[in-house]
Amino acid sequence: MRIFCFLVGFLGTVLAAAAQESGFLYLEAENSQPFYVRSRDSLYLSAPQGFLILAPLTGIKGELVLGFPGQAAAAFVFTIPKTDLEAGWLLRNKEGEGWRLYDYRLDELVNIRRLGKAENRYKGMQKRTDAFALQLAKLVNDTAILYYTPKASVRTAPIQLVKQEETKSAWILVYELLENGRLERIELEIPKEK
């Protein structure tokens, strides 16, 4: 009986561990300087001591922009190679190169891409102008939180009333609907009450 209980407990522990989402990235600034990491739809702020844990990595996709609050331009762009990554990266200001990411475990620099002066990190994004967003940006001393990616809107097919006629027994409405390059005519006859 004791062996059976042990096996059930062990199996439960293994299944619970397998069900957890894996992958994290620990980022730390060498000089404890606060920074931010921005994805297309989220903004992650480091602790005031200059460290940040991104977990789980399954929801973080695409290029990530790393920058410092109060500075007009971001430092660089990087990507997370895989979502099951478990790593710690150090943010270093290298002489002559600027800010770089250093991987503790692999003992090497992480590939980054510098943002050029002409490149706009907010390309395709819209800026919030409401009072709350402006106050929040002022509070965190960073305008990056004002920008967001708009959700795709569904265009409604243009429909137009072209004819309206009244007879003794009904109202007749004629609409034209332009959809996928085709023009359709819709005629409605609404009977009058007697």
Distance CA 10, CA 190 (A): 72
Look at residue 76 in the predicted model and tell me its pLDDT.
Answer: 82
Residue 149 near residue 167, CB atoms below 8 Å: no
Q: Which residue has the tokens 């960073």?
A: 142
Q: Which domain holds residue 164?
A: 159-191
Number of domains in the chain: 2
Please tell me which residue, 70 or 73, carries the higher pLDDT value: 70
At residue 9 the predicted structure's pLDDT band, cuts being 50, 70 and 90, is: low
Name the residue type at position 172: I
Q: Are residues 183 and 97 in the same domain?
A: no
Q: Are residues 127 and 49 in the same domain?
A: yes
Instruction: Render pLDDT for 154-187 as a digit per residue (tens, 0 to 9).
Output: 666 688 889 999 998 898 999 988 887 788 899 9
- 65, pLDDT greater than 70: yes
In a domain, 154, yes or no: no
Least confident of 45-54, 149-158, 164-173: 149-158
Look at residue 130 in the predicted model and tell me its pLDDT.
Answer: 92
In a domain, 171, yes or no: yes
Average pLDDT, the chain: 80
Q: Are residues 105 and 170 in the same domain?
A: no
In a domain, 153, yes or no: no
Instruction: Render pLDDT for 81-124 as a digit per residue (tens, 0 to 9).
Output: 777 778 888 888 888 778 888 888 888 888 888 776 545 667 77
pTM: 0.51
Look at residue 119 in the predicted model and tell me its pLDDT.
Answer: 54
Residue 111 near residue 102, CB atoms below 8 Å: no
Q: Are residues 83 and 170 in the same domain?
A: no
Q: Are residues 100 and 181 in the same domain?
A: no
